[in-house]
């Protein structure tokens, strides 16, 4: 997955602003200290976030940054996009004819593309308010999952493995 520190740190810093801003500005140095992120790195990220309209800079003695909109109207996907963080899951770039393996796409290309789309869709529905209040478990849990018995400590017996696989939810063929 193409998810690196840019996106994670930008979301962490924006959540920090939402939590500690109280409608006013927050010094970037305070965000850096609380989140344990380099101030120089945050300055680079906030330049992009400001250009995207997600934050406003405030000059002066009580300067810093504040959210450009209410936290409930800023979504994680927007933050990731602003700092040029994608959710691409394949080595292929875009829908070009050339693929993962030179002339063709890998066998699992569509799987990883669909996963990237699901991640993007999920993040587009999660606001900073949601991040601060906690994502409900049912929102974060996929519709198909291994039952709790199947995800418990692995067993060395083949019969328990077959039994665990039988507990998978979803359509069977």
Residue pLDDT, tens place only, 95-138: 555 566 666 777 888 888 888 888 889 999 999 999 999 987 66
d(CA 130, CA 79): 14
Q: Which of 22, 17, 129, 11 is nearest to 65 (CA)?
A: 17
Summarised one tens digit per residue, pLDDT across range 33-81 is 999 999 999 999 999 999 999 999 999 888 899 999 999 999 999 999 9
Tell me the three state secondary structure of residue 120: helix
Q: Identify the helix (H) or strand (E) that includes residue 79.
A: helix 76-82
Whole-angstrom distance, CA of residue 80 vs CA of residue 123:
9
Strand, helix or coil for residue 14: helix
CATH architecture of 5-140: Orthogonal Bundle (1.10)
Asked if pLDDT for residue 141 goes beyond 70, the answer is no
Domain ranges of the chain: 5-140
Whole-model pTM above 0.85?
Answer: no
Q: Kind and range of the H or E element at 58? A: strand 55-58
């Amino acid at each position: 997955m193409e998810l690196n520190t840019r996106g994670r740190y930008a979301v962490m810093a924006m959540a920090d602003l939402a939590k500690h801003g109280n409608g006013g500005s927050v010094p970037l140095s305070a965000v850096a200290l609380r989140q344990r992120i380099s101030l120089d790195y945050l300055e680079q990220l906030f330049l992009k976030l400001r250009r995207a309209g997600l934050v406003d800079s405030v000059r002066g003695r009580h300067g810093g940054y504040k959210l450009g909109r209410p936290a409930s109207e800023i979504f994680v996907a927007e933050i990731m996009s602003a700092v040029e963080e994608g959710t691409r899951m394949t080595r292929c770039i875009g829908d070009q004819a050339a693929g993962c393996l030179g002339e063709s796409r890998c066998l699992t290309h569509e799987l990883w593309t669909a996963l990237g789309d699901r991640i993007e869709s999920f993040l587009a529905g999660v606001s900073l308010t949601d991040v601060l209040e906690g994502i409900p478990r049912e929102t974060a849990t996929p519709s198909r999952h291994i039952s709790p018995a199947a995800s418990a400590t692995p067993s060395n017996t083949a019969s328990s493995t077959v039994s665990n696989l039988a507990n998978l939810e979803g359509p069977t063929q």
